[in-house]
Amino acid sequence: MPLYNSSSGYGALTKALHWLVVALFAFQFAAANIMLRLDGDATAMGMGQSTYYNWHKSIGLVALLVAVLRLLARRQGALPNWAPTLSGRERAFIHRVEQVLYAAMLAMPVSGFLYVTAGGYGVNLFGVWEMPNFIAAWPSLATAAKWTHIFSAYVLVATLTGHVGLVLWHTLVLRDGLIWRMLPRRNG
Ligand code: HEM
Ligand code: HEM
């Protein structure tokens, strides 16, 4: 399997980064739900609220790096031809969905980072490095960034429902093997 995309299918790099982002985002949603529900001295799986916040912020910044790599990788080679079983409407839908997914992959971590930086909370990267705060406390920016973060999370969930729903519909109901376009070893 070639490293970069070609007209006959997605390359190894796109596939690896796609599933890495899925894993990182699954962690982010799980950690966010735990950290927002824990209070005081309570722990979940042996970790307190501040540990979950730290991991959520740190993994979020890793996800930003991976999203940028992904965009750069997408610019290499050619974009794969459409799967022949997709209708014109589905192609238009997928095109729009992918734009929103890329926007969310950038908006989520950037808004989260701006929220904690402008809010004066900062980021202690993986509990080992206190990142310098290059924005002074700016409450109105922090509030705008916080609501962007929350709003983007809902937009992301709605868009992913469409993305995954379409893939599963084609794979499980129409049985055209669409999911294989993003899995190892088979192109096309
Ligand atoms: C990269 C992907 C990220 C995803 C998918 C994500 C997802 C989420 C979600 C779903 C929530 C809960 C929102 C709600 O209240 O309903 C949340 C909250 C939060 N996130 Fe993220 N996040 C990401 C990155 C980051 C980053 C990079 C930071 C900071 C450096 C961050 C900081 C926060 C904070 C502080 C909250 C709590 C907000 C509050 O007080 O309500 N997030 N995140
Ligand atoms: C955080 C979750 C996800 C994000 C952000 C995401 C994002 C994307 C993006 C942007 C593409 C376009 C190709 C590219 O530029 O990489 C894509 C394609 C694809 N995704 Fe996802 N995806 C997610 C989850 C999933 C899941 C859970 C599945 C499996 C059900 C899936 C299956 C696919 C398939 C099969 C394609 C290729 C579609 C085609 O071109 O025919 N994705 N995804």
Within a 10 A sphere around the Cβ of 67, how many other Cβ atoms? Answer: 23
Give the Cα-Cα-Cα angle 56, 146, 57 (nearest 5 degrees). Answer: 15
Using pLDDT thresholds of 50, 70 and 90, give the confidence band for residue 180.
Answer: very high
Pick the residue whose CA is nearest to atom 24 on ligand 2: 22
Hey, what are 185's tokens?
A: 């070893």
**Does the pLDDT value for residue 40 go beyond 90?**
no
Within a 10 A sphere around the Cβ of 132, how many other Cβ atoms? Answer: 8
The reported pLDDT for the residue numbered 1 is 82
**Does the pLDDT value for residue 93 go beyond 70?**
yes
Pick the residue whose CA is nearest to atom 27 on ligand 2: 164
pTM of the predicted protein model: 0.96
Taking only the tens place, the pLDDT of each residue in 94-152 is 999 999 999 999 999 999 999 999 999 999 999 999 999 888 899 999 999 999 999 99
Rounded distance, CA 181 to CA 188, Å? 6
Q: How far is the CA of 104 from the centre of ligand 2 (A)?
A: 13
Percentage of residues in the chain having pLDDT higher than 90: 93
**Does the pLDDT value for residue 188 go beyond 60?**
no
Mean pLDDT, residues 158-177 = 98
